[in-house]
């Protein structure tokens, strides 16, 4: 890979119209330039990606305390699609081992941040289907500019802790989630579980799903 895309989706997700959960994290863990494209993620070739594993497990556990990321992933494999899409709050990549991440994050200009967030939300084939945006790990003031712009673009945002945490913390994170958000995530998961693949050629209007 020569770049990191603006948005990541799984498998054939773009062919369909089932509702999505857009998870926006901090920044990608690599050294590649960010390019405004929509491309695929594959959790089977990145089995140790904590962010992907935790987020799938988080949603699965809300549906059923016995469900795990493995169960959710198997469901996605069987349908060759997923209701989870990923994006990042910053238009830069920073490897995990980098010292002084805050300096790099703060050095991004307001214009570059706004352009990056605008790029995310101009991909209407995804945004029109997005029922909920989860802002993961963006509570630090260094992400304030990104969060402000995201909230200007979407009124369906929910702030959650970083999805790179340990399994031990998942239970507390779920219990801290508002009940209506838990109900919505459960509804989206179950709707996806019942959904049967059927390709569409176009999409009309802005998707809305009541909690």
Tens of pLDDT, residues 64-117: 999 999 999 999 999 999 999 999 999 999 998 899 999 999 999 999 999 999
Tens of pLDDT, residues 72-82: 999 999 999 99
> Where does the pLDDT of residue 206 fall: very low under 50, low under 70, confident under 90, or very high at 90 and above?
very low
> How far from the centroid of its chain's Cα atoms is residue 81's Cα?
14
pLDDT at residue 211 is higher than 70: no
Tell me if 24 sits within 8 A of 127, measured CB to CB. Answer: no
- Residue range 168-173: mean pLDDT, rounded: 86
Measured distance between the N- and C-terminal CA atoms of the chain, rounded to whole angstroms: 38
Per-domain boundaries in the chain: 4-194
Q: What is the pTM of this model?
A: 0.90
Architecture of the domain made up of 4-194: 3-Layer(aba) Sandwich (3.40)
Tell me if 124 sits within 8 A of 14, measured CB to CB. Answer: no
Cα distance between residue 21 and residue 185, in whole Å: 8
Cα distance between residue 130 and residue 133, in whole Å: 7
Q: Provide, rounded to the nearest whole percent, the portion of the chain with pLDDT above 70.
A: 92
Mean pLDDT of the chain: 91
> Where does the pLDDT of residue 2 fall: very low under 50, low under 70, confident under 90, or very high at 90 and above?
confident
Cα distance between residue 36 and residue 120, in whole Å: 8
């Amino acid at each position: 890979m020569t770049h990191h895309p603006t948005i990541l989706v799984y498998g054939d997700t773009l062919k369909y119209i089932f509702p999505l959960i857009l998870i926006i994290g901090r920044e990608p863990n690599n050294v590649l330039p960010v390019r405004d494209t929509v491309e695929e993620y594959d959790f089977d070739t990145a089995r140790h990606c904590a962010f992907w594993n935790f987020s799938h497990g988080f949603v699965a556990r809300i549906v059923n305390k016995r469900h795990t990321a493995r169960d959710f992933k198997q469901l996605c494999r069987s349908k060759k699609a997923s209701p989870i899409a990923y994006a990042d709050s910053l238009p830069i990549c920073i490897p995990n081992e980098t010292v002084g991440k805050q300096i790099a994050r703060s050095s991004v200009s307001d214009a570059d941040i706004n352009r990056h967030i605008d790029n995310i939300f101009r991909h209407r084939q995804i945004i029109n289907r997005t029922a909920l945006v989860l802002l993961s790990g963006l509570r630090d003031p260094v992400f304030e500019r990104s969060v402000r712009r995201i909230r200007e673009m979407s009124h369906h945002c929910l702030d959650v802790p970083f999805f790179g945490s340990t399994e031990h913390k998942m239970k507390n994170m779920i219990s801290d989630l508002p009940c209506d958000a838990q109900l919505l995530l459960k509804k989206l998961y179950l709707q996806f579980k019942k959904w049967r693949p059927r390709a569409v050629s176009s999409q009309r209007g802005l998707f809305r799903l009541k909690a």
